[in-house]
C-alpha cells in the first residue's frame, strides 16, 4: 500500500509559493521522492533526464541559465516539460525566468518557489516524500508513545492490549494507533508507525465500545506518528513455563523489514502491566544510553564468586 502525493499537498506542507500553476497542475501526482537538479539538462544533455522527478533549481542552475540566450532557455525548458513532470521548484527566493514560466504554462506544469536554501529545501522535500511514498503494511497491536519512546504492544486477542494502553494514556502517555498500525520503513534502521485514517484517535474497550481519546483526554493524549523502537508482547501466564528473570534474552521481531527489540511480559491477575511497560521503556532507554542493569548484576555476581572462592 503506497499513498499518492499531489503537488498541492507539497505546497501546503512546505509553504511553497505558487509562481504559476493551474488547478490541474497542482493536482499532478508525485510518484518518487528523488529530486532532480537539472544541471546537465541545461547544457542540452537529455540522455538520462529524470522527467518524472521534481526539478529543483538552486543558485547554480539559475546562474547558468541566465548566461544562456532566451531562445536557448526556452528550448531547454520546453524539453524539460514532460507529461509526468510534477513541478519546477526554485530555492532561495530566486526569480523564475520568463522562459521557464512560458514553457511551464504551455505544458500546464506548476512553478513553485521557496525562500530557504537549496540543500535545506532538498532535505525537507525528500524527508516528506520518502515518508509519504514509502510502501505501508499493517500490523496488529497498539502503538503508544511512552516517555518519548514508541512502544508497540502486541499479544493474543483479548489479552488486554487496549486496556493497558488506556491506563498508559491516563498516566500521561500518548496514543498513536489502536488495533491496527500502519508501518513503513523510513530507513534501514528505522520503522515508523501511524494510525489508519479511519481509526485516528480512537480506541476500542470491550464492554464500553469505541472512545475518542482526543475528545476525552485532550490533544496532548494523542500523536500522529512515531518510530517503533520497542515491541512488548503480552502473553498469558503459564505456571510451568520458564520466563526471563534477568533480562538477558535479546530478542527481536521484524517489522517492515527492520529488526525491532522485543520483550515478552506474562500477564496474570494482579500484575499492573501499564507500570511494567513504563519501566520497560525507561530501562530500554537506559540501555541505549550505555547502562545495563543486567550486566551490572552479572559483574557484581562474578566479583562476589571470586571473593568467596579466594577465602
State how far the Cα of 148 lies from the Cα of 142, in Å rounded to an integer: 15
Known binding positions for ATP: 155-162
Cα–Cα dist 297/223, whole Å: 37
Catalytic annotation present for 161: yes
| Pair 168, 278: CB distance under 8 Å | yes
- Please pick, among 140, 295, 300, 303, the residue that the annotation labels catalytic: 140
Which three cell numbers mark 108? 500546464
Coil, strand or helix at 148 = coil
Distance CA 163, CA 166 (A): 5
**Active-site residue among 73, 113, 161, 174?**
161
Q: Is 245 a catalytic residue?
A: yes
Is 179 designated active site?
yes
Binding site members for Mg(2+): 162, 204
Burial of residue 138 (CB within 10 Å: 0-12, 13-18, 19+) is middle
**DSSP assignment of 154-207:** EESTTSSHHHHHHHHHHTT-EEEESSEEEEEEEETTEEEEE--GGGTTEEEETT
C-alpha dihedral (282, 287, 290, 293), degrees to nearest 10: 90
Among the listed residues 13, 179, 264, 292, the single catalytic one is 179
| Residue 141 Ramachandran class (φ > 0 left, ψ -120 to 50 alpha, else beta) | left
136 is catalytic: no
Active site residues: 140, 161, 179, 245
Amino acid at each position: 500500500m503506497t499513498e499518492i502525493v499531489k503537488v498541492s499537498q507539497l505546497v501546503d506542507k512546505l509553504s511553497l509559493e505558487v509562481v504559476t500553476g493551474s488547478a490541474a497542475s497542482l493536482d499532478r501526482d508525485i510518484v518518487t521522492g528523488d529530486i532532480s537538479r537539472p544541471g546537465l539538462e541545461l547544457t542540452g544533455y537529455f540522455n538520462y533526464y529524470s522527467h518524472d522527478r521534481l526539478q529543483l533549481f538552486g543558485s547554480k542552475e539559475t546562474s547558468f541559465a541566465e548566461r544562456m540566450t532566451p531562445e536557448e532557455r526556452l528550448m531547454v525548458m520546453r524539453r524539460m516539460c514532460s507529461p509526468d513532470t510534477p513541478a519546477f521548484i526554485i530555492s532561495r527566493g530566486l526569480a523564475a525566468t520568463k522562459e521557464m514560466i512560458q514553457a511551464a504554462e504551455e505544458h500546464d506544469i506548476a512553478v513553485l518557489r521557496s525562500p530557504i536554501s537549496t540543500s535545506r529545501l532538498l532535505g525537507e522535500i525528500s524527508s516528506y516524500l520518502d515518508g509519504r511514498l514509502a510502501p505501508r503494511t499493517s500490523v496488529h497491536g497498539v502503538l503508544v508513545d511512552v516517555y518519548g519512546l514508541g512502544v508497540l504492544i502486541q499479544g493474543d486477542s483479548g489479552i488486554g492490549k487496549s486496556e493497558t494502553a488506556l491506563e498508559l494514556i491516563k498516566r500521561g502517555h500518548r496514543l498513536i494507533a489502536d488495533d491496527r498500525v500502519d508501518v513503513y520503513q523510513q530507513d534501514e534502521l528505522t520503522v515508523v508507525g501511524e494510525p489508519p485514517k479511519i481509526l485516528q484517535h480512537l480506541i476500542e474497550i470491550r464492554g464500553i465500545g469505541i472512545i475518542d481519546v482526543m475528545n476525552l483526554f485532550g490533544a496532548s493524549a494523542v500523536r500522529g506518528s512515531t518510530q517503533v523502537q520497542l515491541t512488548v508482547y503480552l502473553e498469558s501466564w503459564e505456571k510451568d513455563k520458564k520466563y526471563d528473570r534477568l533480562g538477558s534474552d535479546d530478542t527481536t521481531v521484524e517489522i517492515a523489514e527492520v529488526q525491532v527489540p522485543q520483550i515478552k511480559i506474562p500477564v496474570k491477575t494482579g500484575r499492573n502491566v501499564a507500570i511494567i511497560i513504563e519501566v520497560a521503556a525507561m530501562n530500554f532507554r537506559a540501555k541505549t544510553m550505555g547502562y545495563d542493569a543486567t550486566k551490572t548484576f552479572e559483574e557484581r555476581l562474578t566479583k562476589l564468586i571470586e571473593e568467596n572462592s579466594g577465602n
